[in-house]
Amino acid sequence: MLASYAVRVADSRGRQHDEPPHPYRDAFQRDRDRVIHSRAFRRLEDKTQVFTRRYSDHFRNRLTHTIEVAQISRTIAAQLGLNEDLVEALALVHDIGHPPFGHAGEKALDAAMRAQGTYFDHNLHALRIVSSFEQRYAAFPGMNLTFEVREGIIKHSRDYSAAEYPELTEYLLDERPPLEAQLIDLADEIAYNTADLDDGLEARILKLGEIRERVVIFGRFYREAEEKYPKAPDKLKFNEGLKRMLNRLVGDLIENTRARIAKAGVKTLDDVRRNPERLARFSDEVERERAEAKQFLYDRLYFSERLLPEKERAEEVVSQLFAFWVANPDKLPRSYQEDAKREPLPRVICDYIAGMTDTYILAQHKKFCAARKSPESPRLP
């Protein structure tokens, strides 16, 4: 049962290239399936989220993180009466534009591009992937996704101004995105704030005591778990606490968004789009708790000494390879050399690097930059 303000597939603004309808899958279901069958989606398996694979084979990578975001988003969408197929497509595609090596890779790629007078933006890159880089269908380039999925790719996590990004004007930049897209960014936050506490503890970078103390929302639920399961091992009490924290974030987002929709008198998708601000939001109290958890992760995990050597190595690999191809464009694969006749060389190199997995970029670095000897990879603790 769709809410009156949900996106209806029958009202979709359609695809860039017309296609006959499918007999039993609607347009958003097909978009979701196209994402799953894309090369860029499969590569998420070997892209770092926070921890490289050397730490553990059961920590999150970008693919398993993406699946967690899809699970959380669908739960929220179902409760709010939103279009679950659109939400699932948006969740599955939300990180497809990320380069190898997580945030460090993105930072290095952006820095390399800025030195060339331009920049790297993962949402814009994701749009380029689905609009042209994926070569899968004979009838059109890219994945020919519906307007609503492309709009969500661009607008789920931030606003882009038409003045600054004239190439994006077709995406209704002065309107809010549908709720289906709005909730993706918050589901993403819920997924990684909880998952990174989990993996950070298992990596023994974070300590249970400091999480309990500094992440108040977790501490409260940990105490609850302790009272209920006093004899359980700490790790299971931790899991119980974390599960309750995730539940609290999801439940609050559902309730608060529902209340904001009612308060704003929002009845239609147009109302959602024209509302002065985004409607999907945590309550003030939970927003404070979320921000506190995130700050803790920044202080103690993302910028921790233990992750530093690996991040430095990632930045070095990206920046050296970029510089190598700027100086030696004839060493790019032939198809990229062809692209460079039509597009600026830095953009072509950036597109190539951004599409790589961690394993592939390391192999490329070994092949082309071995002469510029870099320090040995850091050993694991």
The residues that touch Mg ion, with contacts defined as CB under 5 A, are: 95, 188
Nearest of 348, 302, 314 to residue 47 by alpha carbon? 314
Q: Minimal distance in Å, beta carbon 95 to Mg ion? A: 4
Q: In sequence order, what DSSP letters do the residues of 289-309 get, joined into one string?
A: HHHHHHHHHIIIIIT-GGGHH
Backbone angles phi, psi at 146, to 5 degrees: -65, 160
CB closer to Mg ion, 100 vs 346: 100
Determine the 3-state secondary structure of 123 from DSSP.
helix
Question: Which residue do the tokens 């603004």 mark?
Answer: 13
Task: Name which of 95 and 358 has its Cβ closer to Mg ion.
Answer: 95
Rounded to a whole number of angstroms, the minimum distance from the CB of residue 192 to Mg ion is 6
Minimal distance in Å, beta carbon 355 to Mg ion?
A: 17
Rounded-to-integer distance, Cα 67 and Cα 380, Å: 27
Question: CB of 216: closest distance to Mg ion in angstroms?
Answer: 24
Nearer Cβ to Mg ion, position 64 or 320?
64
Rounded to whole angstroms, the Cα distance separating 240 from 250 reads 15
Q: Taking the complex as a whole, how short is the minimal distance between the CB of residue 193 and Mg ion, in angstroms? A: 11
* Nearest in space to 199 (alpha carbons), one of 291, 297, 101, 290: 297
How many other C-beta atoms lie within 10 A of the C-beta of residue 43?
Answer: 20
Query: In which residue are the tokens 């679950």 written?
Result: 84
- When the beta carbons of 9 and 293 are compared against Mg ion, the nearer one is 293
> To the nearest whole angstrom, how small is the minimum distance from the Cβ of residue 42 to Mg ion?
17
Based on CB atoms, which residue is closest to Mg ion, 63 or 145? 63
DSSP, residue by residue, 347-359: HHHHHHHHT--HH
Nearer to Mg ion, 46 or 188 (CB): 188
Quote the least distance from Cβ 47 to Mg ion, whole Å: 11
Tell me the closest approach of the beta carbon of residue 179 to Mg ion, in angstroms. Answer: 18
Backbone angles phi, psi at 61, to 5 degrees: -115, -175
Contact predicate 17/94, CB 8 Å: no
Task: Region of 144 please: left (phi>0), alpha (psi -120 to 50) or beta.
Answer: left
- When the beta carbons of 95 and 180 are compared against Mg ion, the nearer one is 95
By C-beta, is 196 or 339 nearer to Mg ion?
Answer: 196
| CB atoms closer than 10 angstroms to residue 323 | 15
